[in-house]
């Protein structure tokens, strides 16, 4: 059976989460907006509990959690939802990084088309982002700073707390795309982070659910203009019937992550060590600072090998990726590795391996045998 090593694309659903989702699909199927009967009341209570579980992972108040369909929608609400207020205030300079997910870069392109100035901080050759680069580029008219928590291709962890420290005393809003880091590592607790995007299917919950955490500044909520209308759900920020079964699944996933985080990290670290054994005897480079990556991601380039050819040889042995899943249907050179300034042959040969605590030990001998066919 093929071993799954593409968890940055999507994770398996935690068994306890799947059981709870099934219960709220088949038994507790009430609408949390129905106030006239017990089915609705129980659904509403379940959503409130999940809101608290998600908030608890990042030291936020439950009232600051807005449920969405995932991090892509959350990113769009956070970025495009600030357009009106920032334009009215004349704060149309935006700072972000050159290695963001397309779910951040493309909404920012929309703002650029409407007259905003988007400035990209570039990483070093190991993918590290410097908080000092944000400090040097910060202006009085900077209205938004957006940085991911963990890079989806290299696993490099961004210095979120250091960036938050740089922004102390500045009026700019700080948004973090935490799709790859939420529930896996800390670093999102700072009250200086105004907006946090998360996605359920990156943290062992189902696809189709996520959240946008909108922290208050004192008593003031982040002044977001909804990008959809049609109801007052989720405090008017995200209209539509709340998918209770998915929301409780995300809440349960957050609860388990709080309890099992250390054990999961140890297991992922163990898998990483075993996986590296599969490349003994081959020439390869690791893409991403080894001392600053999440333990469940490894991006490598096999010297003299095209990633597409390697994936063909590995078919039936392991499922791996050569980039972000959002662009895999029409493969193009990784903008992340390009921004790091890596040579073209190394970019073309890059493979992203990502796993979870639910992943079985890598089939080291089978991987070696498959790669040997390439003559490296």
Catalytic residue list: 326
Chain CA centroid to CA 131, Å: 20
Do residues 52 and 83 touch, judged by C-beta distance below 8 A? no
Can you say whether residue 341 is alpha, beta or left, with left for phi > 0 and alpha for psi between -120 and 50 degrees? left
Do residues 51 and 244 touch, judged by C-beta distance below 8 A? no
Q: Which residues pair with 213 in a beta bridge?
A: 65, 196
Which pairs count as long-range contacts for 257-265, CB under 8 Å and 24+ apart, including other chains?
Answer: 257/57, 257/183, 257/184, 257/203, 257/204, 258/53, 258/56, 258/57, 260/357, 261/183, 261/184, 263/357, 264/184, 264/356, 264/357, 265/184, 265/185, 265/295
Q: How many helices (H) and strands (E) does the chain have?
A: 12, 12
Classify each residue of 65-79 as buried b or exposed e, where b means 16 or more C-beta atoms within 10 Å of its C-beta. Answer: bbbbbbbbbbbbbbb
């Amino acid at each position: 059976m093929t071993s799954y090593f593409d968890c940055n694309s999507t994770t398996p659903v935690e068994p306890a989460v799947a059981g709870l989702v099934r219960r709220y699909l088949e038994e507790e199927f009430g609408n949390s907006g129905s106030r006239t009967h017990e089915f609705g009341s129980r659904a509403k209570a379940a959503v409130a509990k999940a809101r608290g579980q998600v908030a608890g992972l990042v030291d936020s108040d439950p009232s600051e959690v807005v449920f969405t369909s995932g991090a892509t929608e959350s990113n769009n609400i956070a970025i495009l939802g600030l357009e009106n207020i920032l334009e009215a205030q004349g704060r149309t300079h935006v700072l972000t990084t050159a290695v963001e997910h397309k779910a951040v870069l493309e909404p920012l392109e929309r703002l650029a088309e409407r007259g905003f100035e988007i400035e990209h901080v570039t990483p070093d050759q190991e993918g590290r982002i410097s908080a000092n680069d944000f400090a040097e580029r910060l202006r009085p008219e900077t209205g938004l700073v957006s940085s991911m928590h963990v890079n989806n291709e290299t696993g490099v962890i961004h210095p979120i707390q250091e960036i938050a420290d740089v922004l102390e005393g500045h009026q700019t809003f700080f948004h973090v795309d935490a799709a790859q880091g939420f529930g896996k590592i800390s670093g999102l607790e700072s009250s200086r982070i105004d907006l946090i995007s998360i996605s359920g299917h990156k943290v062992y919950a189902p696809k189709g659910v996520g959240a946008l955490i909108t922290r208050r500044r004192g008593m003031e909520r982040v002044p977001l203009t909804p990008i959809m209308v049609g109801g007052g759900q989720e405090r008017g920020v995200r209209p539509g019937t709340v998918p209770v079964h998915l929301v409780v699944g995300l809440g349960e996933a957050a609860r388990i992550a709080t309890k099992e985080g250390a054990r999961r990290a140890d297991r992922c670290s163990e898998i990483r060590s075993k996986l590296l054994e599969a490349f003994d005897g081959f020439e390869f480079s690791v893409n991403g600072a080894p001392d600053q990556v999440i333990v469940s991601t490894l991006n490598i380039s096999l010297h003299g090998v095209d990633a597409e050819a390697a994936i063909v040889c590995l078919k039936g042995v392991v499922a791996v990726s050569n980039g972000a899943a959002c662009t895999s249907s029409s493969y193009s050179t990784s903008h992340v590795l390009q921004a790091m300034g890596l040579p073209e042959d190394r970019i073309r040969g890059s493979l992203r391996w990502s796993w979870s605590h639910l992943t079985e030990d890598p089939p080291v001998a089978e991987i070696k045998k498959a790669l040997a066919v390439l003559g490296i």
